[in-house]
Amino acid sequence: QKEVEQNSGPLSVPEGAIASLNCTYSDRGSQSFFWYRQYSGKSPELIMSIYSNGDKEDGRFTAQLNKASQYVSLLIRDSQPSDSATYLCAVDNYGQNFVFGPGTRLSVLP
């Protein structure tokens, strides 16, 4: 079974700062990587996907992938209190489904 690891947090950052969320995975053959955001008591929602090494930017979010190091990260610029949530890293499992990490709880302090 593939493993996906994340720091559980909580990660606390002041409003306006950059939040950096990290994820490592065990299977070097993994090809597709996803970040989901989950507000307390709600269902996960997809915020970013990344398939190639390097950076992918979407608004205030940047996903970074380094397949050689088996590492994927999510940067949130100009963090807002509304970004306070749990962020789940997901890695594809032989193209059939995902393996999710345990999630990192982010708290953005006003």
Partner 1 sequence: NAGVTQTPKFRILKIGQSMTLQCAQDMNHNYMYWYRQDPGMGLKLIYYSVGAGITDKGEVPNGYNVSRSTTEDFPLRLELAAPSQTSVYFCASSFTVYEQYFGPGTRLTVT
Per CB under 8 A, residues contacting partner 1 are 1, 4, 8, 32, 34, 42-46, 49, 88, 92, 95-103
Minimum CB distance to partner 1 smaller for 19 or for 89: 89
Reading the block at residue 107, the tokens are: 């708290």
State the nearest-atom distance from the C-beta of 82 to partner 1, in Å.
Answer: 19
Minimum CB distance to partner 1 smaller for 45 or for 57: 45
CB–CB of 99/1 below 8 Å? Answer: yes
State the nearest-atom distance from the C-beta of 16 to partner 1, in Å.
Answer: 28
3-class DSSP state of 66: strand
Minimum CB distance to partner 1 smaller for 34 or for 108: 34
Phi and psi of 81, rounded to 5°? -55, -30
Q: What is the largest CA-CA distance in the chain?
A: 41
Cα within 13 Å of Cα(35), Cβ side: 29
Minimum CB distance to partner 1 smaller for 46 or for 109: 46
State the nearest-atom distance from the C-beta of 100 to partner 1, in Å.
Answer: 4
